[in-house]
Amino acid sequence: MKVIIDQDKCVASGQCVTAAIDVFDQRDEDGIVVLLNDNLPDNLAADVQQAAAVCPALAIVIED
């Protein structure tokens, strides 16, 4: 699973962090999403899919 973040689309709502706190965080200065780890374990796949689904800006894309 590869996670792609479009930081230009991000509106800093924090929904991704709520859905997958082990995968996403937000920059302190503006709240824009950051990916914590490029190599995601399989057990976090459902959380990442949920984060992508609840992102209001559709800033998270998942590729298999």
What is the share, in percent, of the chain residues with pLDDT greater than 90? 89
Question: What was the pLDDT predicted at 6?
Answer: 98
Q: How confident is the model at residue 38 (pLDDT cuts 50, 70, 90)?
A: confident
Assess whether pLDDT exceeds 90 at residue 55.
Answer: yes
Which domains, from first to last, does the chain contain? 2-63 (3.30.70.20)
Q: How high is the mean pLDDT of the chain?
A: 96
Of 59, 56, 40, 57, residue with least CA distance to 20: 40
pTM exceeds 0.85: yes
What mean pLDDT do residues 24-36 have?
A: 98
pLDDT score, position 61: 96
Of 30, 48, 31, the residue nearest 39 (C-alpha): 48
